[in-house]
Structure 1
Amino acid sequence: MANFTKKSSVSITCPLGLAPFLEQEVQDLGFTVTSKRETGIEIKASLNECIRLNFWLRTAHRVHFLIDERRIQTPDQLKVWIKKYPWEEWISDDGYFSVTSRVDHPTIENDQFANLIVKDAVADRIRFKKNQRPDSGSDLQKTVLFLYWDKNIARIFVDTSGESLSRRNYRGSGGPAPMQESLAAAIVKSTKWQPGQHFINPMAGSGTLAIEAVMQATNRAPASLRNNFGFMHILGFDDDYYQSIRDEAKRGVTKKIEGKFIASDNDPNAIIAAKKNAQTAGVDHMIDFETCDFSKTPVPDGDGVVVFNPPYGERIGNPDDLVPLYKGIGDFMKSECPGKTGYVFTANNKLTKKVGLRASSRTTFFNSTIECRLLEYELYKGSKK
């Protein structure tokens, strides 16, 4: 069986632009970052510690535990190397596993070819040792191996997450172009909002931003609704230890919080979907949902933020038709939100000029492959001195 207490290099992946937020999260959990890249970080951790990381990381996508690494120059060398490893200690002979990869090597034109080499080598090894071959395919619900092969350095990991950690399992319906939960969590972290302050989200869509804010405010573990991870299918997994992590997380949830969470949208179907998502997440009683034009969104007195995620003409809407919308957003923040901090998340720099406010900061994010900015506006009461 695999040793769940032995430490190894752990590569934690995230979407482009979220690595600084992921680094801070990992440090807050007590780990030291050993290396950084644009789409992730590396630390030293055990498989048991990977369980905790999977349960608590909000901006990560996957947690990869390094099994072995070698200099590999050809597909044949790859097959021999993988076949020598004792996979029977990791994968049940009557189990199921899949292989994903990221390969940049002159001998490999298609990553699927590399995946197939690894699959066959692992299965052949287990069949040789156990006289039975495990099933394999593309399903990420069981054991998942990840091959990273860059030039002549190959690394084989076990993916302790399985499906992306961005899938929190609370979002049943998202409407057009829903925002990934990991991106929403990073946007919330990027604002000046603090638990206890108001979080106002006009044009809320499926409610992801508001839900992620409530989950952060109440210290709810982002993976608390998930019941399947890659680590569960590794031989040696201790369910009692995993349940202790879940139980500890439940005890740490804050029941009552100050500040209002308000999510509005002029589309009744969007609000219905947002309410369902919040109900699944267990936070619907903490969010005030309003079906109204963004300009009619109630803004309570007190400190807080107003966060807009309007269409920007890439996936939804025609840029020329959106000029009045952006002007209206600026007018709303100036007239209804003094004393708050305003934010607009968009990929269209020309449209942001129509807001009519000077941004105090611009943070770069990527919505899938689309480069976006989160613009911050200090909404002063009266004149700025």
Structure 2
Amino acid sequence: MQQLFHENYEHNRKGYIQDLHNSKIHTAITLHPNKRPAYQYRLHNYILSRKISELRYRTIQLHRESALMSKLSNSEVNKEDQQLGVMPSFNHFQPRERDEVIEWEFLTGKFLYTMVESQPPRQSLSSALRAALDDTVMQVMEMINENSRTRGRLIDFKEIQYGYRRVNPLHGVEYILDLLLLYKRHKGRKVTVPVRRHAYLQQSFSKPFFKEAEELDVSLLENTNTDTQSFAFLSNSLKIFSSSFQGTRNIGGRSDKKIHILVPLTGRFDIFSRFMDNFEKTCLIPRENVKLAIILFSSESGQDSSKHMQLMKEYSMKYPKADMTLIPMAGKFSRGLGLEMASAQFDNGTLLLFCDVDLVFTPDFLQRCRDNTIQGEQVYYPIIFSQYDPKIIY
């Protein structure tokens, strides 16, 4: 019951859980107390990261099963399965020259011994590496104790005696760990015995979720890694890519799909004037590939509508090649109705941006709209900051 209903009443902690990389946290169904929003956000973020890791691990398993079934059925293996469905092994990469050998780093529970140039041969374990080791060991122990109740035994982790690690940039992080464990048998004659076991582990990389829009300068990145202790372990691994990236070019590139900006509007001429001023700086002068459609609802007096039309006419005369249009609407202002009527004038494959007149945006925002929308699959909902005045910020 204590493991299912976890309670944390440490002195002066007020519900703050220092070590989240703990199997007790994963097996618990309630955590108490946990009342501060900052602590809740931290815990929620960690739980989501664990869920992402589990889904990635399951994805790797499915790729391996798919690759195996393709071989058994004597059919062609999917290209993605060829990369992600490879079974774990330390011999995937076969170096052709001495400089291509990925060197192992020796580690203990406190120190890391490395042969990387411009780095001290012995250094303390960084917080990132320590967290990675803790998370790796925790996953190993969860796999070992998965059926501990039926087997009548439980194995606890004590410490890492020593180990080796290296990063294979094509497949993942590889470990050889000498673990000191505590074997506990709780069925029959109870026995508690310390044991040592070697663990050969590989954390396989899953598929990439984003790619660099520009060509990667491997030599520059390698120099940066040698100067930065936190990323020094990548220096030797990047040598594999040095020959591959020479003379290559990014075939993906940045999307330049035309964005159709729809702005429903009534009154608020001063705000509209500010919007057009920002639109001029962001889109008209740089010649962004956009189309502006103002859905103008006529006000009761009609005075504001004439100002809007005159302002649009001035910008059209100033930028004759700009794609701008004004769609007049009658009746009471309705944002949803205006957007629906304007959207009906475009094809299904058109990239639409539903925008309010008080929004101030940048060219980078437009590019994010292109990059984060997938036709028929994904809609981009940006987070709008509305608690400050752009005049003060910019």
**TM-score of Structure 1 vs Structure 2, range by shorter chain:** under 0.3
Please tell me whether Structure 1 or Structure 2 has the larger radius of gyration of its CA atoms: 2
TM normalised by structure 1 equals 0.26
